[in-house]
Amino acid sequence: MPQTVKGVIARSKGADVELVDVVVPDPGPGEAVVAVQACGVCHTDLHYREGGINDEFPFLLGHEAAGVVEAVGEGVTEVAPGDFVVLNWRAVCGLCRACLKGRPWYCFATHNATQKMTLTDGTELTPALGIGAFVEKTLVAAGQCTRVDPDADAAAVGLLGCGVMAGFGAAVNTGGVGRGDSVAVIGCGGVGNAAIAGANVAGATTIVAVDVDDRKLEQARRFGATHTVNSAQQDPVEAIRELTGGHGADVVVEAVGRPETYEQAFYARDLAGTVVLVGVPTPDKQVTLPMIDVFGRGGSLKSSWYGDCLPSRDFPMLVDLYRQGRFDLDAFVSERVGLGDVEAAFAKMEKGEVLRSVVVLEEAGA
């Protein structure tokens, strides 16, 4: 029997989000219904609301979530009812050319549930990033569920489902940060601070945090930044070079997604260093660089989709590090709010007041 539950939708471009009844079908083959326990409010949800991703309104928002599998469809073997899972937005196919080459984190054919969740009048909803988790229960592809340690706090580990994984992976997976490296991170929101935490866990010895907001720089220290630079007051390229013996950093992570910060990242890295672009630019943005510098400075210019993560490999590992006190996921949780507070959380995010507001749902029957 399909279930009717409460969920948060963006009905039209720019309009305030609404808490409405959402109809969730029973899971079909390869699908799972998950009772959501917590879901972080990410910038991408706001992008959806503002029509910045596509026009497939109404959207069921939310995608950084953890919960408990309630039911699975035919043929599902990877998860079972009762499993505590973090949801991911790149369920890999195992069959595309990237997967067949042994690089499943690049999978070019990731998948979501085939059935649609709807409004009570039958209007189909587009779930944000193929998840849609500001809702009591959601329907996803079973491959979007990654089982993790059930003792972990859902509000904290749900954040692994998007921004925190993207940032951590940008430093560690894409940037390949290792012991003794110098790292600079430009933009210290949820993503950038996770990159700092990743660099710290990987053994980087110099970690320079760059932001235009001193509150963010203060938080960056907590995640392991050894130095901070306010780039509204100081040239970040000069500052990063000074802090790295005059050379620049081995790895620079750009977590803003703007041409000027990309250019800073390009010139703030050492010869043969690596730039990782994890910030997402809007389609109108252009970068112009002297080609001789692209050649002459060597190294690599990379982009990082979802931190080049493999959820089945990376989520349980990060939950272990969290449970051992080596990765402070709790510090990303600025506040816990209800399903009715998403619009207010957007406003706080825009003012830079939070790393993450996390919507926490009451347990069914509690």
Which of the stretches 60-68, 73-81, 150-158, 187-195 binds ligand NAD when contact is defined by CB under 6 A?
187-195
Q: Say whether the peptide bond before residue 58 is cis (omega within 30 degrees of 0).
A: yes
Binding mask 102-121 for Zn ion (x = CB under 5 A): -----x-x------------
Which listed residue (42, 204, 268, 318) binds Zn ion by CB under 5 A? 42
User: Which of 27/307 has CB closer to ligand NAD?
Assistant: 307
User: Which of 137/356 has CB closer to ligand NAD?
Assistant: 356
Ranges of beta strands (E only) in the chain are 3-10, 18-24, 31-40, 59-60, 64-72, 84-87, 118-119, 126-127, 137-141, 145-147, 182-186, 206-211, 227-230, 249-254, 269-277, 300-303, 333-337, 356-360
Size of interface with ligand NAD, in residues (CB under 6 A): 31
Q: How far apart are CA 357 and CA 334, in angstroms?
A: 6
Which of the stretches 50-58, 145-153, 208-216, 245-253 binds ligand NAD when contact is defined by CB under 6 A?
208-216
User: Which of 71/96 has CB closer to Zn ion?
Assistant: 96
CA distances from 178 to 60, 132, 204 (A): 39, 35, 6
Which of the stretches 28-36, 70-78, 129-137, 182-190 binds ligand NAD when contact is defined by CB under 6 A?
182-190
Q: Which residue is nearest to ligand NAD (CB)?
A: 189
Residues 251-280 that bind ligand NAD (CB under 6 A): 255-258, 261, 278-280
Burial zone of 98 (CB within 10 Å; 0-12 exposed, 13-18 middle, 19+ buried): middle
Token pair for 42: 């990410």
User: Which of 53/201 has CB closer to ligand NAD?
Assistant: 53
Do 286 and 260 meet the contact criterion of CB atoms below 8 Å apart?
no
Which listed residue (162, 165, 177, 329) binds Zn ion by CB under 5 A? 162
Residues 135-174 that bind ligand NAD (CB under 6 A): 162-163, 166
- Nearest Cα residue to 199 out of 214, 179, 222: 179
Residues 23-42 that bind ligand NAD (CB under 6 A): 42
Residues 289-318 that bind ligand NAD (CB under 6 A): 304-306
Q: Report what 269 binds from ligand NAD, Zn ion, none; CB cut-off 5-8 Å by kind.
A: none
Taking CB under 6 A as the rule, does residue 249 contact ligand NAD? no
Which listed residue (17, 35, 38, 43) binds ligand NAD by CB under 6 A? 43
Name the minimum Å distance from CB 169 to ligand NAD. 8
- Nearest Cα residue to 280 out of 170, 357, 125, 197: 170
Token pair for 366: 């509690």
User: Which of 221/258 has CB closer to ligand NAD?
Assistant: 258
Which listed residue (23, 99, 276, 359) binds Zn ion by CB under 5 A? 99
Helices (H), the chain: 43-49, 97-100, 154-157, 163-169, 190-202, 214-223, 236-243, 259-267, 291-296, 311-323, 342-350
Q: How far apart are CA 340 and CA 142, in angstroms?
A: 28
Neighbours of 185 (CB within 10 A): 35
Q: How far apart are CA 360 and CA 27, in angstroms?
A: 23
Residues that bind ligand NAD (CB under 6 A): 42-44, 162-163, 166, 186-192, 210-213, 216, 231, 255-258, 261, 278-280, 304-306, 352
